[in-house]
């Protein structure tokens, strides 16, 4: 692996919050409460005036959620972070906080399908226009940016795994006065820290690698104190997509092993991608680690990639003969998953839209989990043998 998290950020994942406030518990408590009461009028009024910051109601502030937010901000090298009830809630709150009717967003091709749908429905009704560009083509991005309010990035993307030079794109956004945002779910802060590359807001579906155990749906946004304060002031309380204390606690637990899990995902997925590339029945493997070099700022690769079978392979038989890889659409957990492209293509991008997110009908997306490279490879080989 290239350089992982710096050692002090890694250590902070393990030791976070053992600060003596909670009877020196190794694992922090869950503040599973909606409400925090006051014993004195003066304290309550000071809190309402903002003179004293303390929890009042969990939709605003909850100590367990705050612990998770602090941990993630540290990992991303950000000043602050805000937890959400889902990745989509983090995406919608981030975008809605910074646009108004008449504004334009520039987004890279192949963003996560529900982000694409958000842009094409709610934002369209709000008269916010979205221009899609190839994120690999910096000239095209520069051409699209004048007058845009937001540059929305996702790198690497989550089906064709297109990887962009995030620092270069963030610099272009800055030059044109646009706010840059990135969906960093694929790389996790272990392999990409966009704030350090000049991006303004970093968004995660925490349901993926941050949680890591397929038991949480959550999201988070990291950025400067000023930008997070803007989110906190409006979209966060009014849209109300608050991360729950129990889910924050599960994320804190999951994140302690994030660097170790990412290392294992990287090693197994890259080995399997290289072996698939050598098979006669495989046309192309879409995995950023197979290129000569990774884009600047991306220091490693995760467990999610796709490949395209040559014509004549029975993809249904392949999927049905897999034993360890389960048919499932999410990713980022401990388990290995497979999704055939032709299944995903059954759901239209939007009514009357022929957009396909770059998904090839003979493609298959794999999430390589933590079961072990050789058992997973045997599983794939047996299923490919039956299907070819
Ligand atoms: C790349 C990417 N971004 C965002 C999301 C949305 O996250 P959530 O499902 O937590 O709302 C997903 C979910 O699959 C995703 O794959």
Ligand 1 pocket: which of 208, 241, 244 to mutate (most atoms within 8 A of CB): 208
- What is the distance in A from the centroid of ligand 1 to the CA of 209? 11
In a domain, residue 57? The reply is: yes
The pLDDT tens digits for 21-54 are 788 888 889 999 999 999 999 999 999 998 988 9
CATH number at residue 11: 3.40.640.10
In a domain, residue 291? The reply is: yes
Burial degree of 140 (CB within 10 A; 0-12, 13-18, 19+): middle
In a domain, residue 61? The reply is: yes
Cα–Cα distances in angstroms (integers) from residue 72 to residues 20, 29, 92, 252, 380, in the given order? 21, 18, 19, 9, 35
Residue positions counted in the chain: 388
Q: Among the atoms of ligand 1, which is closest to the Cα of residue 154?
A: 1
The pLDDT tens digits for 113-139 are 999 999 999 999 999 999 999 999 999
In a domain, residue 2? The reply is: no
Alpha-helical segments (H) within 221-364: 225-233, 235-239, 245-255, 258-277, 315-321, 341-344
CB–CB of 306/286 below 8 Å?
yes
Is there an atom of ligand 1 within 6 Å of 83 CB? Answer: no
Is there an atom of ligand 1 within 6 Å of 266 CB? Answer: no
Is there an atom of ligand 1 within 6 Å of 330 CB? Answer: yes
Alpha-helical segments (H) within 278-372: 315-321, 341-344
For ligand 1, atom 14, name the residue with the nearest CA.
Answer: 330
Give the residue numbers spanning the domain of 158: 7-255
Q: Are residues 215 and 298 in the same domain?
A: no
For ligand 1, atom 7, name the residue with the nearest CA.
Answer: 87
| Percent of the chain residues topping a pLDDT of 70 | 97
Number of domains in the chain: 2
Low-confidence ranges of the chain (pLDDT < 70): 1-6, 16-19
- What is the distance in A from the centroid of ligand 1 to the CA of 107? 16
CB atoms within 10 A of CB 360: 19
Q: Among the atoms of ligand 1, which is closest to the Cα of residue 218?
A: 10
pLDDT at 1: 43
Is there an atom of ligand 1 within 6 Å of 88 CB? Answer: yes
- Region at 162 (left for phi over 0; alpha for psi -120 to 50; beta for the rest): beta
Q: Are residues 364 and 308 in the same domain?
A: yes
Task: Give me the active site residues, please.
Answer: 59, 112, 183, 208
Q: Are residues 115 and 38 in the same domain?
A: yes
Burial degree of 139 (CB within 10 A; 0-12, 13-18, 19+): exposed
Q: Are residues 129 and 38 in the same domain?
A: yes
- What is the distance in A from the centroid of ligand 1 to the CA of 212? 13
Please tell me whether residue 326 adopts helix, strand or coil conformation: strand
In a domain, residue 207? The reply is: yes
Cα–Cα distances in angstroms (integers) from residue 385 to residues 286, 305, 306, in the given order? 21, 21, 19
pLDDT at 17: 62
Which residue, 383, 364, 367, is CA-closest to 322? Answer: 383
In a domain, residue 162? The reply is: yes
pLDDT at 26: 84
- What is the distance in A from the centroid of ligand 1 to the CA of 176? 28
- What is the distance in A from the centroid of ligand 1 to the CA of 221? 13
Is there an atom of ligand 1 within 6 Å of 195 CB? Answer: no
């Amino acid at each position: 692996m290239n350089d992982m998290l710096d050692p002090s950020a890694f250590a902070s994942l393990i030791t976070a919050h053992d600060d003596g406030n909670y009877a020196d518990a190794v694992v922090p408590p869950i503040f599973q409460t909606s409400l925090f009461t006051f014993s004195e009028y003066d304290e309550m009024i000071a809190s309402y005036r903002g003179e004293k910051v303390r929890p009042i109601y969990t939709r605003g502030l909850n100590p367990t959620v705050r612990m998770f937010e602090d941990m993630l901000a540290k990992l991303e090298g950000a000043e602050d972070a805000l937890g959400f009830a889902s990745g989509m809630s983090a995406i919608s709150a981030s975008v809605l906080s910074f646009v108004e009717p008449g504004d334009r967003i520039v987004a890279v091709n192949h963003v996560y399908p529900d982000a694409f749908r958000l842009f094409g429905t709610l934002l369209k009704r709000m008269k916010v226009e979205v221009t899609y560009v190839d994120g690999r083509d910096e000239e095209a991005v520069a051409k699209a940016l004048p007058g845009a309010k937001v540059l929305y990035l996702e790198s690497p993307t989550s089906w064709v795994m297109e990887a962009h030079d995030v620092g270069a794109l963030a610099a272009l956004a800055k030059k044109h006065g646009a706010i840059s945002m990135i969906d960093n779910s694929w790389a996790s802060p272990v392999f990409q820290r966009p704030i350090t590359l000049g991006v303004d807001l970093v968004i995660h579906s925490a349901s993926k690698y941050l949680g890591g155990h397929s038991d949480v749906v959550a999201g988070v946004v990291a950025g400067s104190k000023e930008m997070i304060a803007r989110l906190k002031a409006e979209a966060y309380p009014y849209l109300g997509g608050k991360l729950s204390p129990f889910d924050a606690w599960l994320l804190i637990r999951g994140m302690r092993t994030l660097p170790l899990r990412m290392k294992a995902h990287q090693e197994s997925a890259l080995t399997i991608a290289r072996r698939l590339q050598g098979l006669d029945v495989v046309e192309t493997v879409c995995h950023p680690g197979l290129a000569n070099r990774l884009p600047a700022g991306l220091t490693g690769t995760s467990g999610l990639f796709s490949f395209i079978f040559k014509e004549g392979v029975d993809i249904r038989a392949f999927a049905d003969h897999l034993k360890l890889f389960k048919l499932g659409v999410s990713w980022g957990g401990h388990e290995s998953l497979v999704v055939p492209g032709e299944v995903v293509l059954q759901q239209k991008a939007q009514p009357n839209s022929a957009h396909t997110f770059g998904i090839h009908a003979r493609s298959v997306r794999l999430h390589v989990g933590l079961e072990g490279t050789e058992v997973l490879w045997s599983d794939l080989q047996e299923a490919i043998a039956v299907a070819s």
